[in-house]
């Protein structure tokens, strides 16, 4: 599985856009990029997944450049409830049988 | 609402006890996983299963075993609990097929304290 590197922590204020970048220099051709969100005392929750270019859903956007060696999770107009740890994962997702390897994630703190 | 349910939210056990952590999913998922989460170490994979009666070791299987007698249930067993197994335990499941089936669904976790 490709190793990922992301910032340990980030701070923001309500209403701002937050961009969290993840580096995955040795991503393989078959690998997808997936982001999870984890609130305190809860299990991680799937946010978004992409392979290339841009993916958007009701929660976030995921930007992936052409070389796919990095990706950026974008959270528009964050609120206090977006305070959480965000994990970037890279690996094959075609069957769902892959066992996920989580890094330490990025701890996002949103302040009023 | 589909879900992964872990039988206990909090558990306190004594050193040397045999401990069972139960996980049930109602999504008919083939794959199930057990992780533990500790401060500063993130989530670490203990065991996983792709099918009934099938199991695979993860990154830290020592001191643990698992059982999957039915598709919907995946149990984690601590054969002889030790204080270094005090942790948050997370169960997850996923589907093996279908382009629309993204991601893994996690339970809310069991916080185990071994005294």
Question: pLDDT tens across A6-33, in order?
Answer: 999 999 999 999 999 999 998 888 888 8
Is residue B103 within 8 Å of B2, Cβ to Cβ? no
Using DSSP, state whether B85 is helix, strand or coil: helix
CB contact under 8 A, A46 and B102: yes
Nearest CA in chain A to B42: A104
The contacts of residue B98 (CB under 8 Å, 6+ apart) are: none
Would you say the C-alpha torsion A53, B106, A93, B99 has a positive or negative sign? negative
| CA–CA dist A110, B12 (Å, integer) | 33
Mean pLDDT of B15-37: 94
Mean pLDDT of B7-25: 96
Q: Which helix (H) or strand (E) holds B98?
A: none
Instruction: Give the DSSP per-residue string, B15-33.
Output: TT--EEEEEEESS--SEEE
The residue with greater pLDDT, B79 or A96, is: B79
Domain B4-94 part of CATH 2.60.40.10: yes
Beta bridge partners of A35: A48, A88
Write out the CATH class of domain A9-107.
Answer: mainly beta
**Residues of B in Cβ contact (< 8 Å) with A105:** 42
Using DSSP, state whether B57 is helix, strand or coil: strand
Is residue A23 within 8 Å of A75, Cβ to Cβ? no
B50 interface with A at CB cutoff 8 Å:
yes
| CA–CA dist B15, A40 (Å, integer) | 27
The residue with greater pLDDT, A96 or A50, is: A50
CB contact under 8 A, B97 and A96: yes
Specify the range with the lowest mean pLDDT, choosing from A44-53, B1-10, B52-61, B91-100: B91-100
Cα B71 versus chain centre, distance = 14
CA distance A23 to chain B (A): 18
Number of H helices, E strands in chain B: 0, 11
Percent of chain B with pLDDT over 70: 92
Which residues of chain A are at the B interface, by a Cβ-Cβ cutoff of 8 Å?
34, 36, 41-46, 49, 87, 93, 95-97, 99-105
The whole-number pLDDT of residue A96 equals 53
What does pLDDT average to over chain A?
89
Take residue B22 and report the two structure tokens written for it. Answer: 């139960």
């Amino acid at each position: 599985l490709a190793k990922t590197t992301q910032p340990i922590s980030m701070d923001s204020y309500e209403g701002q856009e937050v961009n969290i970048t993840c580096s995955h220099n040795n991503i393989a051709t078959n690998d997808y990029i997936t982001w999870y969100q984890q609130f305190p005392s809860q299990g991680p929750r799937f946010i978004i997944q992409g392979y290339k270019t841009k993916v958007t859903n009701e929660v976030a956007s995921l930007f992936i450049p052409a070389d796919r060696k990095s990706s950026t999770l974008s959270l528009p107009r964050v609120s206090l409830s977006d305070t959480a740890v965000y994990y970037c994962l890279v690996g094959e997702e075609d069957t769902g049988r892959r066992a996920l390897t989580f890094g330490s994630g990025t701890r996002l703190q949103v302040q009023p | 609402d589909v879900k992964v349910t872990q039988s206990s939210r909090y558990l306190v056990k004594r050193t040397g006890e045999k401990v069972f952590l139960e996980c049930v999913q109602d999504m008919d998922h083939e794959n199930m996983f057990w992780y533990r989460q500790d401060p500063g170490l993130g989530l670490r994979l203990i065991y996983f299963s792709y099918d009934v009666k099938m199991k695979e070791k993860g990154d830290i299987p020592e001191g643990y075993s698992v059982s999957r007698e039915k598709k919907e249930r995946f149990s984690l067993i601590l054969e002889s609990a030790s204080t270094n197994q005090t942790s948050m335990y997370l169960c997850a499941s996923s589907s093996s097929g279908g382009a629309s089936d993204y991601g893994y669904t996690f339970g809310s976790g069991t916080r185990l304290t071994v005294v």
